[in-house]
Structure 1
Amino acid sequence: MPAHSHNRALYTIEQVREMEGAALAAMGISSHELMRRAASAALLILRRHWPQVRHLGICCGPGNNGGDGFLLGVLAREAGLQVEIVAIGTASHGAAAMARNEWETAGGQVHLWNAESRLPVVEVLVDALYGIGFNRALEPSVARLIDSMHASGKPLLALDVPSGLNADSGHCLGAAVRADVTLTFIANKRGLHSGRAADHVGVLELAGLGVPESIYAGVQPDAQLLVAEAMPSRERYANKGSNGHVLVIGGDHGMAGAVRLAGEAALRAGAGLVSVATRADHVLALNATRPELMVHAVDETQALAPLLERANVLALGPGLGQHTWAHALWQATLGANKPLVLDADGLNLLAQRPCTFTVPTVLTPHPGEAGRLLGVSTADVERDRFSAVRELARCYSATVVLKGSGSLIADPDGRLDVCPWGNPGMASGGMGDLLTGVIAALLAQGCTAWQAACLGVGLHARAGDLAAQQGERGLLASDLLAPLRTLGNNLSGHLHD
């Protein structure tokens, strides 16, 4: 589809409806004509992704999404394709009724889906069941239709939104279409970029349908996709003191790996100096395996004070635990009143003793930690990741990274960015420790909390994608360290942004 200047912009359902109404008025066209434009765009996408297709199956719902499907059927037949349409009701509503009538008037048949129905044998299936307005669990009969679509093994194109996926939150209340390609209309919906969406959207395409740019200018996006960035080049006169001093605090007994990963990530992300405050029994091993880290035994909080004094950014939480030692370090670190990245058990301790932050602070919870910080369940967080991350940022007066598929970054004013990179191979131990180190290093080099969080999340996810070119399964956190350095220096590697 044609490129748009607003491709990074993400909108809520309410905003998209507002834009659609304004577009119809500005262009002086009917809803039926807009449906025809959507159908025409869908036919182009079908031809591009499956150029050999000759036999098409379209599953239509009763609303406007189904209307798009009926008109796609009309255009596909006119183009010489054989088309089978399966509908889940005897009638369509509003403008979709006109589209259905156009299909039937042209001689097309409608196969009604019922308990005994079977899908026709076709080459490609199109999901035109439900669009952006759908926000409940699918009826059992429709769920069975979707199961049949998946069981067919045929490629699946979803129109606007995969049916069953909430376009606002990326959450599924039950069965939902797993599309190979999703063609979304007018504007990008935020729910197609986070949460469960990764398993349902497939390749995402945007068709603007000729909507004037002035319509987009009139609506402030709810969120934006991150762009690929690197740190600016350094001055030739730089020395290690110019690039910040990060202190990583954590690593209770048996958890030396967490602080090592965070510390090494901070070095690879460009921090000039990195110290580690950890248990005495870890010092020898860490010094031997990564001598660039300045490792200090801190079995008592008194030993932490001079380290806090020397550092300019603190990273608290990797391998910290929640025992008496951890509580003491946590309290001393927060009392230092220095820029801070808080992760893992640092967040769990914060949930027990909530406070707001007056210095630049980045919190990096996964959904379980986010739920504890908000006093809700993990499922509640996943039902609306966008609201959850904004509420966390507001409650704690911090920049917050809600990790997971389509990681979200929010600040206390409600600004929100979404990470479009990352892969399932990154669901392994130590990845969060790396992210903590990267963000801390960027803070130490002069980034604001917002800049450090956005740039850090982007570099971390893109490094994961680069490392996963050798396969996602078995990906280790340490595999990201080399590509992290490459991307941070704006070198090409082999990653396509």
Structure 2
Amino acid sequence: MKRAALTDITAAVLREWPLPQPSFDGDKEVRGHILIVGGSREMPGAVILAATAALRAGAGKLTIATAASVAPLVALAIPESRVIGLAETAGGGFTMEAARRLAELHGKADALLVGPGMQDDAAAAELVRALLPRFSGTRIVIDAAAMGAVRPGREPHLLEEASEREHFRFGEPVLLTPHAGELAHLSGRSKDDINKDPQQAARQAADAWNAVVALKGATTVIAAPGGALWQHQGGNVGLAISGSGDTLAGIIAGLAARGATLEQAAAWGVALHASAGEQLSLRFGVLGYLAREISAEVPALLRTLAPA
């Protein structure tokens, strides 16, 4: 199989691929509206991390849909947001009423992030399948448990099933953010096989599912349907900490809300996340900084990476 050209994500590449910028007199609507669906009784912090990161990435308006049991806590933690409380399943997920309730935001949200802190894998997958047609035309980022929508055995009425049993194709491209273990779980391949050739693994998943796949790791590979490939090397082991992935997903979704394509949002988001880890390591050391501290580095990094 012929390999696609690979682009290394560097500061120079990002400066030549500038993010959409609001006009000097633009309001919060112009900067983009992000809807984040996630959280649970046991993990309310994940959606807080993602939401904070989305705002730090420059999104102008934020709506969070989370478990009704923790919605007041989330609203207090993120006073900049509108918070919607969703009915919960016994396993800590959301009932299908959530999809009907969130449908009213179709056409109002510029980007949708689903997954951070969600529990009840089956309920999460069902919710994703229900949200897809309701948010047609919206930039969608799917993270964590919500990525289970592509696993074998899912009903194909909202996802198009390809010839191989593990292959489902989204009707419109979305962005998935797995690490190697998650991609192994989703695809049925071994983790060792994926780590052996992450470029091929990401590309095959992107083509199979019609999704931009950001395969996270010490070297992160981003693959788009059709073969385009990017990779980023950077950051440090301090980024391997609870909540770091939620923050990355929030940064990417915030950039998408601003108008970046999924590929661009992924490339910039991965680079910003890694650079934030490098900055934090200068102050705290490589080990010991917290995921909650990552997003605060993003605004200054965005300014540094702006075109000259």
Q: 2:144 aligns with which of 310, 323, 344?
A: 344
| Aligned residue in 1 for 2:175 | 362
| Aligned residue in 1 for 2:297 | 483
CA spacing shift, 1:221–1:394, aligned 2, 3 Å: closer
Q: 2:223 aligns with which of 403, 407, 410?
A: 410
* 1:339-382 deviation line (CA, Å, top 9, x unaligned): 21011101123224363223341111010111122211111111
Q: How far does residue 415 in structure 1 lie from its aligned partner after superposition? A: 1.5
Task: Give me the whole-angstrom Cα distance separating, in 2, the residues matched to 1:244 and 1:234.
Answer: 9
* 1:71-92 deviation line (CA, Å, top 9, x unaligned): xxxxxxxxxxxxxxxxxxxxxx
Task: Give me the whole-angstrom Cα distance separating, in 2, the residues matched to 1:478 and 1:303.
Answer: 30
Q: 1:286 aligns with which of 68, 71, 74?
A: 74
| Aligned residue in 2 for 1:141 | none
Q: How far does residue 412 in structure 1 lie from its aligned partner after superposition? A: 1.2
What amino acid sits opposite 1:321 in the alignment? Q
1:395 matched to 2:195: no
| Aligned residue in 2 for 1:440 | 253
* 1:145-194 deviation line (CA, Å, top 9, x unaligned): xxxxxxxxxxxxxxxxxxxxxxxxxxxxxxxxxxxxxxxxxxxxxxxxxx
TM-score by length of 1: 0.52
* 1:398-442 deviation line (CA, Å, top 9, x unaligned): 111000111111111211111121110000111111111111111
- Aligned 8 A contact 2:4 2:227 in 1: no
Q: How far does residue 253 in structure 1 lie from its aligned partner after superposition? A: 1.9
| Aligned residue in 1 for 2:91 | none
TM-score by length of 2: 0.83
Task: Give me the whole-angstrom Cα distance separating, in 2, the residues matched to 1:405 and 1:365.
Answer: 13
Please, which runs of 5 or more residues in structure 1 have no aligned partner? 1-13, 15-219, 493-497
- Aligned 8 A contact 1:443 1:452 in 2: yes
* 1:438-458 deviation line (CA, Å, top 9, x unaligned): 111111111111111111111
| Aligned residue in 2 for 1:240 | 28
- Aligned 8 A contact 1:341 1:363 in 2: yes
> Larger relative CO (CA 8 A, sep 6+): 1 or 2?
2
CA spacing shift, 1:445–1:222, aligned 2, 3 Å: same
* 1:17-54 deviation line (CA, Å, top 9, x unaligned): xxxxxxxxxxxxxxxxxxxxxxxxxxxxxxxxxxxxxx
CA spacing shift, 1:401–1:254, aligned 2, 3 Å: same
- Aligned 8 A contact 1:360 1:448 in 2: no
Secondary structure in 2 matching 1:236: coil
Any residues of structure 2 matched to 1:104-253 within 5 Å, and which?
222-228=5-11, 229=14, 231=19, 233-253=21-41
Secondary structure in 1 matching 2:49: helix
What amino acid sits opposite 2:192 in the alignment? A
Q: 1:372 aligns with which of 173, 180, 185?
A: 185
Task: Give me the whole-angstrom Cα distance separating, in 1, the residues matched to 2:19 and 2:240.
Answer: 26
Secondary structure in 2 matching 1:295: strand
| Aligned residue in 1 for 2:50 | 262
- Aligned 8 A contact 1:322 1:349 in 2: no
Q: 2:278 aligns with which of 451, 465, 471?
A: 465
Secondary structure in 1 matching 2:238: helix
Task: Give me the whole-angstrom Cα distance separating, in 2, the residues matched to 1:387 and 1:463.
Answer: 28
| Aligned residue in 2 for 1:303 | 101
- Aligned 8 A contact 2:20 2:258 in 1: no
Any residues of structure 2 matched to 1:43-58 within 5 Å, and which?
none
Q: How far does residue 304 in structure 1 lie from its aligned partner after superposition? A: 2.2
Instruction: Please say which of residues 356-365 and 393-402 is displaced more in the overlay.
Output: 356-365
What amino acid sits opposite 1:386 in the alignment? Q
Structure with the greater alpha carbon radius of gyration: 1
What amino acid sits opposite 1:291 in the alignment? P
- Aligned 8 A contact 2:172 2:210 in 1: no
What amino acid sits opposite 1:436 in the alignment? A
Number of residue-to-residue matches in the alignment = 274
Please, which runs of 5 or more residues in structure 2 have no aligned partner? 88-96, 155-166
Moved over 3 A (4+): 229-234
